[in-house]
Each structure stands twice: as C-alpha cells, then as structure tokens.
Amino acid sequence: MFHSSVLVCICVLFLTVTAWARARHPQFRSIPTTVKTSENDTVLLPCYVDNLGNNIVRWWRDDKLLADSSDPNITTPARVTMFPNNTLQVEELRPEDTGEYMCQVVRPAPWNPIQQMHAIEVLYPPSVVPIPESGQVIVELGDEVKMACEASGVPHPIITWVTKGEELQLLDNRPKLRFIADNRTMAGTYECIASNGVGEPARAVIELRILYPPEVSTDRNWVHASPGIRAEISCMVTADPEAEVQWLKDSQLLEPRQHISTYHYEDKFRLLFRRVQASDFGHYMCRATNRIGTNQQTIQLSGVANPAVFKKDYKIASENNYTLIWEVDSYSPIIEYNLLFRKYHEGTRPGPWVKLIIPADGGYVPGQLHSKSYTLTGLDSSSTYEVTLLSRNVFGWSRPSSVLRFSTAGEGVEDNELVVEVETHEENKLLPAEVAAILRDQNCASMSHTNIIGILLILIMLLATH
C-alpha cells in the first residue's frame, strides 16, 4: 500500500514538472507563411512566440544573419527592419528578395534553438528573349528549323506560340520549336508569348524565311494571235531569293527584237509583241533561276483558233434531234469545223467518232467571239451522245473542245437527265494521235469508213514500230 502511494505521488510530481517545463518553454504562435507579392511592396514576416522570456530571437536568410533581438548594433541590410515585437519587415521588394526566411529562438544550453520558416515570393512579370537574338531564322526548303524563346519571371512563365494568327497546337508549353520547313508557306512570323499571371504577357517575334527554288506558273500556256495584232504572253514567278527570269523561244535564248518587249512588275513577267509576225509563232519558255534551283513554264503563241466552247442548254433536246451551240474565238476567219460525235454508254467502250464537216458561215468577224449552231438529226431517242468540235483557220486546226455529253428525250428519260455537262476529265479528252487520225481522214464521214481507216492506221503504226 505504502509503495504504491509513493509511486503515484512521484508519478504526479513528474507529470506536473514536465507540464510546467513545457508551459515555460518558448513556442511559436505564428504559422509558417509564404507571401506572394509584387515588386516594391512591403512584407511583414511574423515571429510571435509564447513564453519567449529572455530568449533571443534571430532572423536568418540562408546562412546570413539579418537581425538579432539582443544586438541592435548588428547591421541589418538596407530595406530590412526587425520590430520590437520580432516581426521582420522587408521594404521595396526586389526580385532577389525571393527566398526562405527563418525565425530562430535561441535558448540557453542545453536547449537547442527552435525555428520556423517563412518565404517571400516576389512576383515578377514575364520577360522574353528570342533565340536567335536577331529574331531572324533563314533556312532552305526541307531544312530543319530551330527557334526558341528564353523567358523569365516569377512564377516561371508558360510559353505559347502563335503564327499566322493561330496558336500552334503543341503537346506542352515548350520554349523550343523544331520542325522541318517542308512547305514554303511555313515562312513568316512566329511569336512566342510568355505569361505567368503577373502583369501583361511578354512577347518576342522570330521571323522565319524559307529559301526555295522558283515556282513558275502561267494563266494561259496557249495564246492565240494573228500577224499584225498585239499579243502578250506572261508567267508568274515566286522565289526566295529573287529569281532571274529569261525568255527562250524554241529552246534558244530570245534575241532582242524591235517589236518584242519584256516587262516585269512584282511577280509577273510579260513578253509583249506589239505587232505579231508569222515568225513569232512557236513555243516560248519562261525560265526562272535562283541559287536554290531552276523552273520553267512553256507558253505557245499560235495562230490557230481557240478551242470552241459549247453552250450548255438542256431545253433544246428532243427525241431525235439535238441543237448544238458553240462559240469560237479566232483572229483569222474560220474556214470549216469538224464535229465529232458518238454514242455513249456508261461502262462500255465507246464506239468510233463520227465526223461531220460543217462549213463556216460567211460574216465571220475576226477577233470576235463567233457563235454557231448546228442541229444533229436522226439520233436515237433516250440515248446519250458525246460530241467534240475542232475549227480550222489559215494556220490550221484548233485543239478539240471539251467533250459535251447530252441525252435525247424519250421514254425512261426524265427531264433532269437531259442536263448536259461539259466533261473536262482527262480521260474524256481526245488523244493527239486520235485527233491526227480524224483530221487526216478528210473525206470520210461515215461510221464504217472511219472504222476501216482507223484500223488501217493502227495496223500501219504497229508495222512501223516492229
């Protein structure tokens, strides 16, 4: 009994002493804080301690002592003040003030000091520098492009890239861009935008230039003319670096001629014939060269008529007749037309062309669009036909027109199926050999004759090649 009561007594005494000791020991009442604020602001970092007693309070930044409550003589850095209530004040904040600050309570031996960490983050608006710093990247078509933006700011900015008014869809907010310049339209301005939510986003611009071989195009690679008139052929050239453009005629560099002038405005290059001479007809080449490469376009100056153009009209179809209307543009009077037609069945091999020779009207005014019509009669009803037309003037035969496909009226053919379309697909075009064969066959208008001549021609060609 006695022993146990002594034990309880000792026990209670021990608990009381430890409680007293803990109560008497200094303890932080303030809690660790991170202060995020802007440049030039003032920040107060608290260090409120219960039971501080005579213990000393010190403020540290890394291993640098900032202030000591026991030594007012210690040289606190400029802009830093420790108040009597142990609060640390940092004024006129600068970027370099970002970091951890430690409040330390130094206790007499054998007790270790106790400490609490605070942090200041001086928010800083983003800034950005392009790489390369010149803001210019020059590559050749097909080369790899490398560009980057170096951003700073607190917190660290995220980078987005914008080109041609659109944000690049990248997997991450990468400061570096790497891609292959495989299309010259990728040239232009690349802007990187650095933002961190503080102030305005910062921007840097990089200009990408892609050097590429000349690209040569032409509106018309066949130009109709006639002796005595004015004519022009032209080509468009784009290139970087700028291309040198030459005109060639029938593969020879074009000699300077009295009646021919060359002009050049922006990317358009023109060859002007003030009065065309018969010797001017031929193939001209617009050839552009820069140090990346060479390209060209061929343009023919010709006296033959422009290919005729059929007028599309489906109201003129009846069961057995079909009226064709076409327009043709020729500076020299048209002498005659060759109208070629054949039946068309979808999915089957078309039959041979039937040729009709149509003499030109009188009253042809050279240099004007000339309209002519012709009615095909004796056609099968409810059938589809194809037709094409060639015109001849003093310089020869024009190229065939686009193929026109039309249907005759009849049972099982709805009105809307008479709609005529001009086929421009390559497979509907007459082959040059086909045209030559038809034109050679001047006196032959019947289907059977055309067949025989066609077969003979093929046989002759086969024999010639063996």
Ligand X SMILES: *[C@@H]1O[C@H](CO)[C@@H](O)[C@H](O)[C@H]1NC(C)=O
Residue nearer to ligand X on the CB measure, 34 or 38: 38
Note whether 258 binds ligand X by CB under 6 A.
no
Tell which positions 14-43 bind ligand X, by CB under 6 A: 38-40
Q: Do 205 and 221 contact (CB within 8 A), yes or no?
A: no
Question: What are the structure tokens assigned to 160, written together?
Answer: 């987005």
3-state secondary structure 102-168: EEEEECCCCCCCEEEEEEEEEEEEEEEEEECCCCEEEEECCCEEEEEEEEEEECCCEEEEEECCEEC
Local structure of residue 416 (DSSP, 8 states): G
Phi-psi region of 53 (alpha: psi -120 to 50; beta: other; left: phi over 0): left
Kindly tell me which of 200 and 426 has the beta carbon lying closer to ligand X. 200
Residue 40 vs 173, nearer CB to ligand X: 40
Residue type, 442: Q
Q: Which is nearer to ligand X, 185 or 424 (CB)?
A: 185
Beta bridge partners of 406: 385
Which of 33, 37, 76, 87 contacts ligand X by CB under 6 A?
A: 87
Question: Shortest distance, CB of residue 183 to ligand X, whole angstroms?
Answer: 4
Interhelix angle 447-465/432-440, rounded to 10 degrees, is 120
Residues 300-339 vs ligand X: string with x where CB under 6 A?
A: ------------------x-xx------------------
Residues 6+ apart with CB under 8 A from 383: 343, 407, 408, 410
Residues 353-392, one symbol each (x = binds ligand X by CB under 6 A, - = not), give ------------------------x---------------
Answer whether 369's CB lies under 8 Å from 328's CB.
yes
Q: Which residues pair with 349 in a beta bridge?
A: none
Closer by beta carbon to ligand X, 320 or else 384: 320
Measured torsion, CA atoms of residues 8, 14, 20, 22, in degrees rounded to the nearest 10: -130
Encoded one letter per residue, x for contact with ligand X by CB under 6 A and - for no contact, window 267-306 reads: ----------------------------------------
249: which 2 tokens? 């005629």
Please identify, using beta-carbon distances, which residue of 18 and 377 lies nearer to ligand X: 377
Strand partners of residue 391: 337
Least separation in angstroms between CB 86 and ligand X: 8
Nearest distance from C-beta of residue 374 to ligand X, angstroms: 12
CB of 384 to ligand X, least distance (A): 18
185 contributes a contact to ligand X by CB under 6 A? yes
Q: Is 73 in the site for ligand X (CB under 6 A)?
A: yes
User: Binding of ligand X at residue 238 (CB under 6 A)?
Assistant: no
Min dist. Cβ of residue 316 to ligand X (A): 8
Binding to ligand X by residue 152, rule CB under 6 A?
A: no
Instruction: Compute the distance between CA of residue 58 and CA of residue 46 in angstroms, rounded to an integer.
Output: 12
User: Beta-carbon neighbour count of residue 26 at 10 Å?
Assistant: 18
The distance of closest approach from Cβ of residue 206 to ligand X in the complex, given in angstroms and rounded to an integer, is: 19
CB of 458 to ligand X, least distance (A): 35
The reply to whether 85 sits near ligand X by the rule CB under 6 A is: yes
Say whether residue 98 binds ligand X (CB under 6 A).
Answer: no
Q: What residues numbered 165-184 form the site for ligand X, per CB under 6 A?
A: 183
Angstrom distance (rounded) from CA 141 to CA 212: 5
Nearest approach in angstroms of CB 122 to ligand X is 10
Closest approach of ligand X to the CB of residue 94, in Å = 8
Residue 86: count of CB within 10 angstroms of its CB: 20
- The CA-based angle 155-156-158, given to 5 degrees, is 120
Q: How many Cα atoms are found within 13 Å in the side-chain-facing hemisphere of 272?
A: 8
- Contact flag: residue 163 with ligand X (CB under 6 A): no
Q: Compute the least distance from the CB of residue 177 to ligand X, in Å.
A: 17
**Which residue from 376, 384, 386 is spatially nearest to 413, judged by alpha carbons?**
384
Binding site residues, ligand X, CB under 6 A: 38-40, 71, 73, 83, 85, 87, 183, 185, 318, 320-321, 377
